[in-house]
Chain A
């Protein structure tokens, strides 16, 4: 059952050095900024971060990168007008990049969460991003073998949670949250509001509480 935490600091307790951390959000929409700030305070280092972007502006994920805690970023879209923190670190050789097509990023985490050992997909076939990967002809098309991405921890943002850990999201801030929630050993969620069981319409729950370990209103 999900644990409702009083503070973001309590919610991120125990994240170990060297962990793979899935960080929700598409840009800042859905980015769990309070959890990321708490992780900076908590001090875990040598992290591999999996997120769609590599930090925007100076807050959230960008702040974690700037604090020097991240060894490697796995993402689809690191280069943007406001991605100066990542670019500086990458050019200085201080951070590694694994670039993954956005659909593969989502599906590889979905696979991890669903117990799928690997999957074949045509995305990227014949490109640099498929180099060295196993391929197979299926229905006359080249498919590339892709493996799951599993997190030790997921930090995600949602709109509301009930005390069972059921989650609903808001508009396009949903993005990677529901997928990442399934793909990590420990899923930690920042919400705007925690409500009593029975308050959320069961038909509208997007992430069932079984996928959620810790929740904090922040």
Chain B
């Protein structure tokens, strides 16, 4: 079978056996140096590679498909996407049935943000291939996602996962499911992913964060610890685990986690926000302010940081600054009741009870089931002397307590101290002194309320961060 050049003894002539000189002058095959082009390309020896490409294109009179293909790939890597696309088109003209070229073209189009065209190219590639691979399905899913066709995207992501069991496809599918708020399925997928790639730090972290989102912090903690065991400085996992420890009010532990993470990711908004919240919980307000300010500097429009800053300023008895931040938070997110409530509290401190009441009643209207807000609203109305509303709010409060809302101690204490006023309204006279006591009381109550907020807040902040990734 092997066409060997027989056991020639003549050493120096071995490349030209006398047998058939004609055969030897057969032109060298076009694919002669394909391997070299590829090798030098992937090793980043672009200049060398370009030289070979030019030589090969000259030798084959511009017909070497692989040389063109490599040229296109290099151009694409160098950021000349339009030129790369043109080269790939040339390539495709030479060999219209090459799905790989089609795929590269689609990638170019995708990079140019022409998702519709990219999708068409991918679909054509899919129809050309006998057995499409997971990568293609993954890309198609990505395109559909960009085009907003979630159903199709999910279908292809599923396909991709089934075919490849690759980390990327799992990640995409999880992203799609999370965007649909289908946390349960997302967690199921993440479990499959961690089973499939038990050593993938990213998948472990993703799965941990999903559990965290679903509120199952025990599982989340397990997954994140696994991830950290593999890579002790993975900042995302550290953030997640810090968040869980924060929820358990172990702020020092959380801080050590964040400290490691922040060394590796000094520009993470969520990290600085959480560090700030930790300091706040430890009553180190100056540090809290500087951390939150740093976070705000990185993300000036993040309402959660602004909200937290307002809280800290309230705690340091700087209601004027707090008001500004609360105001900004309200402007950014008028739909969040807590922002309005906070604005109300700051106004209360600024002795503008009327506007405070307005803000708080707005907050109560948009979140009617919040115990603390109702209690605070009752207090405020008592201070302004609107006893009819006090009654309303008290009634509401008792209703909420009866329906089994979790009432913090401080809130119930406040409400007990308010009870006399409730009766006093019969006499039609507000006890001045009572009011003063209440103000002190409220400040504590507000602070307490804040700590709660900060907790939920913080995880919220982290989620936001995650969505971006």
Chains A and B are bound partners: no
Binding site for B on A (CB under 8 A): none
